A and B are shown apart, each in its own frame.
Chain A
Amino acid sequence: MHIPDGYLSPSTSVVMYAAMVPVWGMAVKKVKETLKSKQVPLLALAAAFSFVIMMFNVPIPGGTTGHAVGGTLAAIVLGPWAACIAVSIALIIQALIFGDGGVWAIGANCFNMAFVLPFLGYAVYRAISAGGRNRVLGSVIGSYVGLNAAAFCAAVEFGIQPALFHTAAGAPLYCPYGLAQAIPAMMFAHLTVAGPIEAVITGIVVYYLQRSAEESLFYNATA
């Protein structure tokens, strides 16, 4: 789901940065209000987990690959704003050091995986696990929904390119595949393989935390 440089036009990339800047600003503000000192190692742990889990590429039928992100898990423990910061850090380092995801595309990749994913995943988790019940079920469904929503956003960003940006002769300038190709391809990969993996990993970790750790490890703020 890491959009590389060249697949989005510069103007699309700028729009996605413009969308992310206020989100990052708000995240900093919210995390300043809610993050406790003793949670700082957990923030580092969440960013580390998200980074390393993304290295596990899994084969998708049809010859491509996908991977989990771990963003909903971060939101369940730290809240969605801190999860946004943790996953953004992982994505920015992936782009700068490893060329995984473009530098122009950092705004778009963070929008999809560090904003849409943890926030929607967390909202679904909250709705299902209200009052601290059904945390595991909520985390499984929430993380599945979150990952697929992020993939859908990426597919739309890819898919609008050929219609908007092409040469006078009609040749695509950036991503060559339109919505009709990008959406089915991305959704098939994430609905069938990457999403279930994200869901199972999230569910296992939430189950493990619930069994072995104090309940206080979960983020419970109402905001």
Chain B
Amino acid sequence: MPVYRKLWFWIVVLTILSPLGLLAQGTAWGEWGTDELKEMLGMVPQGLAKLGETWHAVLPDYSVPGLDKTFAQQAVGYIISAVVGLAVIVILSYFIGRALAKGEHE
């Protein structure tokens, strides 16, 4: 199945180009952090502030802690995040797929 290999090539291209996604200014609607909400509303809803603290991500917002000063650093952090995310997702979905899929017989 050589077409699979060609498609993986495009995943690599997208990974390298992923920092383009950092150029978009602003936050997606409804995904503001508490500081942004405070600026927009002058307050942070109580429940939101509490539940928002539920989970602390290892690589928050696809950034690597410490690599956040310049755009170049952020871009590197973004690519590292993409590689980490892809590795975990590919391994996980491969094993889930293996567990679910039928045997080789056509």
Please indicate whether A and B come from the same complex rather than being unrelated chains.
yes
Chain A residues in contact with chain B, CB under 8 A?
Answer: 1-7, 9-10, 28, 31-33, 35-49, 51-53, 55-60, 63-67, 85-86, 89-90, 93-100, 102-104, 154, 158, 165, 167, 171-177, 182, 185-186, 189, 209, 212-214, 217
Q: Which of B1, B11, B46, B55 contacts A96 (CB 8 A)?
A: B55
Task: Decide if B89 is an interface residue (CB 8 Å cutoff).
Answer: yes
Q: With A55-B18, A56-B20, A99-B56 in contact, do A173 and B30 touch (Cβ < 8 Å)?
A: no
Q: With A4-B31, A41-B4 in contact, do A98 and B81 touch (Cβ < 8 Å)?
A: yes
13 residue pairs A–B, Cβ–Cβ below 8 Å: A6-B48, A31-B100, A33-B102, A37-B101, A51-B86, A59-B26, A63-B26, A65-B27, A99-B56, A99-B61, A102-B51, A103-B55, A212-B3
Chain B stretch 24-73: residues in CB contact (< 8 A) with chain A: 24-31, 34, 37, 41, 43, 45-62
Quick check: B28 and A55 within 8 Å, CB to CB? no
Chain B residues in 8 Å Cβ range of A28: 100
Q: Which of A9, A42, A186 contacts B30 (CB 8 A)?
A: A186
Chain A residues in 8 Å Cβ range of B21: 55-58, 67
Q: Which residue of B lies closest to A40 (CB)?
A: B97
Quick check: A4 and B101 within 8 Å, CB to CB? no
Quick check: B89 and A1 within 8 Å, CB to CB? no
Quick check: B47 and A2 within 8 Å, CB to CB? no
Quick check: B104 and A37 within 8 Å, CB to CB? yes
Quick check: A57 and B24 within 8 Å, CB to CB? yes
Quick check: A40 and B101 within 8 Å, CB to CB? yes
- Please report the number of residue pairs spanning A and B whose Cβ atoms sit closer than 8 angstroms: 217
Q: Which of A45, A167, A177 contacts B11 (CB 8 A)?
A: A45
Q: How far apart sit A208 and B7, CA to CA, in the bound complex (Å)?
A: 10
Chain B residues in 8 Å Cβ range of A6: 34, 45, 47-52, 54
Chain A residues in 8 Å Cβ range of B22: 57
Chain B residues in 8 Å Cβ range of A40: 94, 97-98, 101
Q: How far apart sit A38 and B61, CA to CA, in the bound complex (Å)?
A: 34
Q: How far apart sit A38 and B106, CA to CA, in the bound complex (Å)?
A: 10
Chain B residues in 8 Å Cβ range of A95: 55
Quick check: B41 and A173 within 8 Å, CB to CB? no
Q: Which of B55, B60, B93, B103 contacts A37 (CB 8 A)?
A: B103
Q: How far apart sit A176 and B34, CA to CA, in the bound complex (Å)?
A: 12
